[in-house]
Each structure stands twice: as structure tokens, then as C-alpha cells.
Amino acid sequence: MNFKAIYYVNQFFGQIGGEDKAGMEPMFKEEAIGPAMGFNTLIKEEGQVIGTIICGDNYFNENKEDAMEFIMDIVKKHNPDVLIAGPAFNAGRYGMACAGLANEVNEKLGIPVVTGMYIENPGLDAVNGTAYVVEVSDSAAGMREALPKMAKLAIKLGKGEELGKPDVEGYLPQGKRLTVFSDKRGSKRAVEMLIKRFKNEEFTTELPMSVFDKVEPAPAIKDLSKATIALVTSGGMVPIGNPDRIQSASAQKWGKYNVANIDALKGNDFCTIHGGFDPVYANEVPDRVAPLDLLKQNEKDGVIGKVYDYFYTTTGTGTSVGKSVTFGKEIGQELKDAGVDGVIVTST
């Protein structure tokens, strides 16, 4: 049976208009429009584009909730096997729209999403591992090259097949890690790689090191005695019983706990679930990992204004960069909204 695809484009590729139409509300047409037509031809043996959603780039980014309400209604009504968006090339608003709809459609409905973006499109950073993004050129001149690559992924996903690794299948790494079997044990592979390195021979790393961007240092707190300081840890300190079931490695979530009425993280109430270090000492005195006791003391002494009511925690070991970034963004948003002035993050 042929799989169903729904295609999302902006006002320009949807052949409505240019910048003058960037504020248009989303519409759905039960036919393939613009790039969806060429795409439809590429998948015709196995699938079909049953309709195209067209939305203004400005409208999406300025009215995200309303735009998503419309899109989710259409998607729920037609129940496609795969959603295609873009390719957005280097168009930032378009890329953000593709990322936005991928995040919601994939997270809430579990429908796979395929899109295409130029490597510098800001939308790329906004995708939370919820879409398969094909790397495309920076302008629409690259459409002819982009569509077949996107179609290839869409066909597999539409048929319910799992995709393999990014470099094999042809999409950009999502910041995810996959466990696979190897014919040689790790120690042997590591030594072989090391020997090649010593001999200045070519070798391929099994895990490319992430490239980390710089963040402008935030300005220092001017008056500590009036400041609210929050405590965050990656040491996995949680209330005994781990009520939120935070993982011991490769954390998929973080937790927040009200510490307004306690003076310290006592061993009777807190423990660590972090699987990456010997927990004995942390379980005896959890403050050894997350020094709530000292922050509370500093508050009593008037050195700091206040300890923030909530303590944030997750497990650092084996947690992917992608997830860590997400946690940081989410926690950061809460702290910002709460007017926290400074943060201490402890790691084990």
C-alpha cells in the first residue's frame, strides 16, 4: 500500500507570493504544490503526497501557536506516514518554521519528518533531534539536488523502515548516539587507532568530537547580598526513591525539587542515581556534590540574598550534547523567568 506524505512549504514555494505574502495564514490544498510536485514524482512508486500546507514565514514565526494548531489539525485528520518540509536552504524564518513544526509533529504524534537546510540555517539548531535534515545548498538553485536526497529518506520512513547512521543514509547528525555491534572489541580498536596516530597514519575517529561554540560571559552580579542564586547539578542528586525516574546514564530528563524549607541535602532525604561514579560518599552527604548547605548558610549570613526555591538535577554521564543543550535551555528559561541572578552548576 502506498504511504501518505503531507508537504509543508512557505508562501513563496507555495506559489502564493513573495515577502508581501509572508504574513499569510496557513492553508491546506489537497494536491502537491511547488517542490511537492517534483517530490511526488520521485516517490511515486511507493508513496504519494496527499496535500500541501502553505504558510507565511512571518505568520508562522509570529503566531506559532495558531499556526501549529492549524497544522496539527490537518496532520491528525489526514494521518500521513511522513511529513516533508522545505527544503529551507538558508532562509532563516523558513528553517525555523520547518524546525518548529518538526518538533511538535514528531514529539506529539510520532510522525517522522524529513526536511532540508543549509548548514548555517538557524533552523538547524532549533531542531531537537525530531527531524531528519538533509544538508542542502544555500539557495533554491540546489532544489534539483535536494529533492532526491529527501525523497530517499522519506520513502524508507514512509514504509516504516528505520534509518541507519547519518553518514550512511545522508542526513545531518542529530546529536544522537546509537549502540552497534563491532567485530573487534573496543580495547583492540583503541590501540590500533593510537598506533596509527603515533605513526602519523590516517585514522577515522569513531566518535567525532563536537565543536563547541563560545557564549559571551554574562555580566557579574553587582550586589550579591540581594541576589537570588540557584543550584543545579549534573551529579544526579535526587530525592530518595527517584520519584521522577531520572536515568542513571544518558539522561532523558531533568528534575526540579523544592528546597525552600530545608537547610541541606541530607543523606536521609537525597541520594545519587548517577551511574558514573562511586555513590558512597555522595549518598552519605549529598551536599558533597550539590552544596545546598553552604548556599543556605550564605543566605543566613546575608552574603547572598536568597537561595532559589528550586534545585535542578540530572545525570551527566553518557548524556548526549544534544540532550544537555535542551536541558540547559529549558532550565535556563525557568531561571530567567524566575529572575534568578546567578547559578552554580556542579558536576561530578
Partner 1 sequence: MVKEIERYGIPVVHMSTITTISEAVGANRIVPTVAIPYPVGNPSLSEAVELDLRTKLVKRALTALTTDVSEVTQF
Which residues of the shown chain bind partner 1 in the complex (CB under 8 A)?
A: 212-222, 224, 227, 229, 232, 234-235, 276-282, 284-285, 287-291, 293-295, 297-298, 303-304, 314, 324-325, 327-329, 331-333, 335-336, 340-348
Question: Is the CB of 84 or the CB of 295 nearer to partner 1?
Answer: 295
CA distances from 86 to 74, 99, 115, 154, 299 (A): 17, 10, 6, 13, 52
Q: Give me the long-range contacts of 322-327 (CB less than 8 A, separation at least 24).
A: 322/128, 322/129, 322/174, 322/175, 322/176, 323/175, 323/250, 323/251, 323/252, 325/175, 326/128, 327/251, 327/254
Query: How would DSSP label each residue in 253-315?
Result: --EEEE-TT-SS--TTTEEE--TTS--HHHHH-GGGTS-HHHHHHHHHTTSSSEEEEEEEE-B
Nearest to partner 1 of 208, 217 (CB atom):
217
Residue 5 burial (C-beta neighbours within 10 Å; 0-12, 13-18, 19+): buried
Rounded least distance, CB 287 to partner 1, Å: 7
Of the candidates 265, 340, 344, 263, the one whose C-alpha atom is nearest the C-alpha of residue 300 is 263
Least distance to partner 1, CB of residue 335, Å: 6
Picking from 156, 153, 188, 155, the residue whose alpha carbon sits closest to that of residue 174 is 153
The distance of closest approach from Cβ of residue 329 to partner 1 in the complex, given in angstroms and rounded to an integer, is: 5
Nearer to partner 1, 146 or 335 (CB): 335
- Smaller CB separation from partner 1, 97 or 295: 295
Q: Which lies closer to partner 1 via its Cβ, residue 87 or residue 236?
A: 236
Maximal CA-CA distance, the chain: 73
Tell me the three cell numbers of residue 52.
500541501
- Shortest distance in whole angstroms from residue 317 CB to partner 1: 10
CB of 222 to partner 1, least distance (A): 8
Nearer to partner 1, 134 or 335 (CB): 335
CB of 290 to partner 1, least distance (A): 8
CB of 281 to partner 1, least distance (A): 5
Residue 145's SS3 state is helix
Choose between 133 and 295: whose C-beta lies nearer to partner 1. 295
Coil, strand or helix at 149: helix
Q: Closer to partner 1 at the Cβ: 138 or 299?
A: 299
Instruction: Tell me the closest approach of the beta carbon of residue 99 to partner 1, in angstroms.
Output: 17
Q: Alpha carbon of 29 to those of 10, 24, 37, 300: distances in Å?
A: 13, 14, 12, 64
**Phi-psi label, residue 251: left if phi above 0, alpha if psi -120 to 50, beta otherwise:** beta
Q: How far is the CB of 109 from partner 1 (least distance, A)?
A: 27
The residue among 80 and 255 lying less far from partner 1, judged by its C-beta, is: 255
Residues with Cβ within 8 Å of 128's Cβ and at least 6 positions away in sequence, in order, are 103, 107, 322, 326
